[in-house]
Chain A
Amino acid sequence: MTGTAVGSRATHRRLAGMCAAAILALTACSGGDDGGSGDDGPPPEEVLTAAKTTLDETTGLNIRLTTPGLPEGVTGVAGATGVVTNAPAFEGDIEVVLAGTTFKVPVVSVKGKVWAELPGTTVFQDIDPADYNAPDPAGFISGETGFPSLLPATTDVAEGKSVRGGEGNKEVLTTYTGTVPGDVMKNVIPSAAGDSFEATYQIANDEQLREATFVGVFYPDSEEMTYTVSFDDYGTEKAISKP
């Protein structure tokens, strides 16, 4: 009975691992080859730059930002989902943690102005996202202040193994790891406080960045944490206007 009193997230993961082992054993098969795609591909830096170009050129996409959890006592962003376009504009929900409670806030951002339907209210009103330790979500795919800007700034890039991912788990993606300097991260997530961030990118064969994971100190005086951003439906076109 007390054996279960460990962090349940860990328990959850361990349980998942056990299930994995069980199904592998059940079907008694050798498993798939998940080695790297060899040395014949382009250099990793070039792949990241190409992925940035794809992001720069797209009209819009679906973005999803998640984290397993913010450090205790931090006011910040716990998640975001929505459509972001090159207008630049954003329409979706941002999850904000305020005083230990998570609020899902509908947000619309068009050309530098941000409107939010704050918790307890029934209408959109204009806000300054910086007041909530949040970036302007319309800038998420900006070449200068968005996630794409992190790609060319990543150093010590190394190619990792191929993994399955993307929408419906249908695609085979190549993993790249590297380091993002803290001052570059600060352009994207203004509260970023760490000197450097470990980055993992999953890039599809058509030079589309599918998922990016960053580990580091995102809020001043707090512990290390993880943000995962996924990018789907490149080429989405959506006219987003002031609510």
Chain B
Amino acid sequence: MSPGDTSGRLLLGLASIAVAFAAADTYVVVLALPDMMTSVGVEVIQLQRAAPIVSGFLLGYVAMLPLIGRIADLRGRLPVLTAALVVFALGSLVTALAYDMPSIVTGRFLQGVGGGGLVPATLALVADLYPVHRRGVPLGVVSAVQEIGSVLGPLFGALVLSIADWRAIFLINLAVGLVLAAALRSISGGRAALAGRAASEASGRSRPPDVVGGLLLLITLVAGALVFTQPPPIMEDLTWGQVFIPFAGDGRWLTPVGAVAITAAALFLARCSFARRPLVDLRGWGRSAREADLPGALLLAVALSGVILAFATADPKVQVFSDQGLWYLAGGALAAVLYVRHQRRTATPLVPHGALSATPAWGSLVVSFFIGAALIAALIDIPLFARTTIYPDSQLQAALVLVRFLVTLPVGAIVGGYLTRRVPAGVVTAVGMLLAATGFLLMSGWDITTLEHASATVPLVVGGLGFGLALAPVNAAVLATTADEVHGLSTALVVVARMVGMLVGISALTTIGLRSYYSEQGGLPTVREACDGKSRCAEFTLLLKEAGIAQEQTVFLGAAVCAVIAAVLALILFRDAATRDLAARDLLRAAG
């Protein structure tokens, strides 16, 4: 395949746009979070309960990454890209129509699964289209759009929020996902060869579509949408309204229309599993998933969701973990143990035996974990802080505060790349993370008016620069101490470790932050005390705002601690990494 191939480049272009969108979606919600929480009945002060709106996406993303690279090899890049986009679109639809917390998190998880499938498949596409020596630039482009996506995500969210409510963000995602999927499919007609080993998929294009399956899918979608939206004109109709009467209890799904949706979905899945020419080749996908270590991915997902649920069910007024939460945590731990055992026993494990045995190699994963935990605190709490203090009504202004942090990140990344050639990786990482910690320490001292002053930009810029600096040396450490053939995998694992850190970090920091706030303050003074006998006054409202800020300050402090831990670990663990021989461009390329 030659790189001059127009449709090949078009394909890569489309895939890159999809990657940018998926990256944007990780952070697109950070501004909409307060509105989304209100929509599903969670208070802003219970941020720990809303953390799954963010971490649900990360969970899907992380759980999918180990699977998808192998599936893309087995089934071809295009089918995987298209499927990932369809799942992403479905997740966007579910999120847009969500009516409560479980439905919103389900939608976000599906979005993550789709989003997580895009990156490895796109990288594999680059490998197909370009010879080894010419891959540098296109790989750089893919990494760049991913970083750009995460910078633009909050801005895009803010722009949409300024003219519509948060559901519009996900309806746009739905449209983009479907359009890109359709575009990819239409190109694929002339590019059967790209499917490579999945030649049967290509020959399947000419067959007539499965009408029965299509009808079942349509019924599933329509009935499902009715259950989600409960449109008043149908609810109120004397005849049609009966389909919303529950068989028992008062659940939305235990109704005739819910039963139709569930039955149609089950029949659709059965049809796809058993029909000779199904709409979705479930059997084939299932086979590939099994070959690509599905049990491993499932155990990983269970382990991580145990952590998410443990923190999400906490009531920080009482304790960090509820009794229920401890069970979730125990379940997660069990899954983690099983995962490790599974990795040891399986013949073709995700991580080849001994691949990460060098201290700097596994060390870079540990360091990435703490970097992720600190980074997510910045991404979530900086705009949240701006909204609780000076921009309660303007998401755009709040987004621009975060942008001050995000713009210096790429600058730091480039500087870090060049520094890594001269200075040991551990030192560069440590300097970066200490800068980030300094930024967080300053932020933890922010009060209600700080953001009105230009000086508030200092910790933002310093923090962003610090995170940027640490990107390249961490990758350098893992690249310098692993074999060539696992370089792709090991840098992907660095990203996964960072995401797992984010997902644990957002839940843990928020919950612990709230808990320490409640236990130290013992609540606010009574309102009558604060307001001279009245039950509302500006002083008390200020106290309420400060209560919210105190929580965010604790999160910043926790993030500073995580950053310091990352710095210390990097100094110790990266000691033996001979990183100064690696080319700066390679390090930056792997940073995405």
| A residues at B contact (CB < 8 Å) | 1, 3-9, 11-13, 15-17, 19-20, 22-24, 26, 31-34, 72-73, 98-104, 118-123, 125-128, 131-132, 162-165, 167-170, 172
B218-260 contacts to A (CB < 8 Å)? 218-219, 222-223, 225-226, 229-242, 244-246, 250
Given A122-B317, A128-B534, answer yes or no on A5-B168 (Cβ-Cβ < 8 Å): yes
Query: Which of these, A19, A32, A132, contacts B226 with CB under 8 Å?
Result: A19
Q: Which residues of B contact A119 (CB under 8 A)?
A: 43, 45, 544, 547
Query: Which of these, A8, A127, A132, A163, contacts B165 with CB under 8 Å?
Result: A8
Q: Which residues of B contact A125 (CB under 8 A)?
A: 526-528
B229 in contact with A19 (CB, 8 Å): yes
Query: Which of these, A5, A12, A23, contacts B223 with CB under 8 Å?
Result: A23
Query: Which of these, B167, B238, B239, B244, contacts A8 with CB under 8 Å?
Result: B167
B163 interface contact, C-beta 8 A: yes
Query: Which of these, A8, A22, A127, A172, contacts B164 with CB under 8 Å?
Result: A8
Cβ distance B404 to chain A, nearest Cβ, rounded Å: 22
Q: Which residues of A contact B317 (CB under 8 A)?
A: 122
Query: Which of these, B175, B179, B229, B545, contacts A99 with CB under 8 Å?
Result: B545
Give the distance in Å from the alpha carbon of A15 to the alpha carbon of B540 in the complex.
43
Query: Which of these, A22, A98, A172, contacts B238 with CB under 8 Å?
Result: A172
Query: Which of these, B166, B167, B245, contacts A168 with CB under 8 Å?
Result: B245
Give the distance in Å from the alpha carbon of A9 to the alpha carbon of B97 in the complex.
10
Closest to A29 in B: B239
A169 in contact with B244 (CB, 8 Å): yes
Cβ distance A190 to chain B, nearest Cβ, rounded Å: 14
B236 in contact with A165 (CB, 8 Å): yes
Give the distance in Å from the alpha carbon of A17 to the alpha carbon of B34 in the complex.
28
Q: Which residues of B contact A22 (CB under 8 A)?
A: 218, 222
Number of chain B residues whose Cβ lies closer than 8 Å to a Cβ of chain A: 66
Cβ distance B94 to chain A, nearest Cβ, rounded Å: 13
Given A168-B245, A169-B235, A169-B241, answer yes or no on A6-B164 (Cβ-Cβ < 8 Å): yes
B392 in contact with A101 (CB, 8 Å): yes
Among B2-10, B55-63, B417-425, B516-524, the stretch that binds chain A is: B516-524
B41 interface contact, C-beta 8 A: yes
A98 in contact with B231 (CB, 8 Å): no
B541 interface contact, C-beta 8 A: yes
Query: Which of these, B174, B223, B235, contacts A165 with CB under 8 Å?
Result: B235
B124 interface contact, C-beta 8 A: no
Give the distance in Å from the alpha carbon of A13 to the alpha carbon of B176 in the complex.
21
B205 interface contact, C-beta 8 A: no
B543 interface contact, C-beta 8 A: yes
Give the distance in Å from the alpha carbon of A6 to the alpha carbon of B169 in the complex.
11
Query: Which of these, A1, A12, A120, A128, contacts B97 with CB under 8 Å?
Result: A12
Q: Which residues of A contact B172 (CB under 8 A)?
A: 1, 4-5
B290 interface contact, C-beta 8 A: no
Query: Which of these, B166, B233, B392, B524, contacts A118 with CB under 8 Å?
Result: B524
Give the distance in Å from the alpha carbon of A131 to the alpha carbon of B239 in the complex.
46
Q: Which residues of A contact B164 (CB under 8 A)?
A: 5-8, 11
B225 in contact with A15 (CB, 8 Å): yes
A163 in contact with B523 (CB, 8 Å): no
B238 in contact with A34 (CB, 8 Å): yes
Q: Pull 12 A–B residue pairs with CB atoms less than 8 Å apart, ordered by A.
A: A1-B176, A7-B168, A16-B231, A23-B234, A99-B392, A101-B392, A102-B38, A104-B43, A118-B540, A121-B524, A122-B518, A127-B535
Given A26-B222, A119-B547, answer yes or no on A19-B244 (Cβ-Cβ < 8 Å): no
A12 in contact with B545 (CB, 8 Å): no
Interface centre among B174, B232, B237, B534 (most CB of A within 10 A): B237
In the complex, besides A1-B175, A99-B541, A120-B543, 14 extra interface pairs with C-beta distance below 8 angstroms are A8-B96, A12-B167, A12-B229, A19-B226, A99-B392, A118-B544, A120-B523, A120-B544, A120-B547, A127-B527, A162-B238, A164-B242, A168-B246, A169-B235
Given A9-B165, A16-B229, A131-B536, answer yes or no on A103-B523 (Cβ-Cβ < 8 Å): no
B415 interface contact, C-beta 8 A: no
Closest to B542 in A: A99
B499-534 contacts to A (CB < 8 Å)? 518, 522-524, 526-528, 534
Query: Which of these, A8, A19, A72, A164, contacts B237 with CB under 8 Å?
Result: A164
Interface centre among B164, B223, B541, B547 (most CB of A within 10 A): B164
Cβ distance B69 to chain A, nearest Cβ, rounded Å: 30
Closest to B230 in A: A16
Give the distance in Å from the alpha carbon of A26 to the alpha carbon of B218 in the complex.
10
Closest to A101 in B: B44
Give the distance in Å from the alpha carbon of A46 to the alpha carbon of B163 in the complex.
46
Give the distance in Å from the alpha carbon of A22 to the alpha carbon of B223 in the complex.
10
Cβ distance A195 to chain B, nearest Cβ, rounded Å: 28
B168 in contact with A4 (CB, 8 Å): yes
3 pairs of A and B residues whose beta carbons are closest in the complex:
A32-B239, A164-B241, A16-B231
B393 interface contact, C-beta 8 A: yes
B541 in contact with A98 (CB, 8 Å): yes
Q: Which residues of B contact A4 (CB under 8 A)?
A: 168, 171-172, 174-175
Give the distance in Å from the alpha carbon of A63 to the alpha carbon of B41 in the complex.
17
A8 in contact with B166 (CB, 8 Å): yes
B226 in contact with A23 (CB, 8 Å): yes
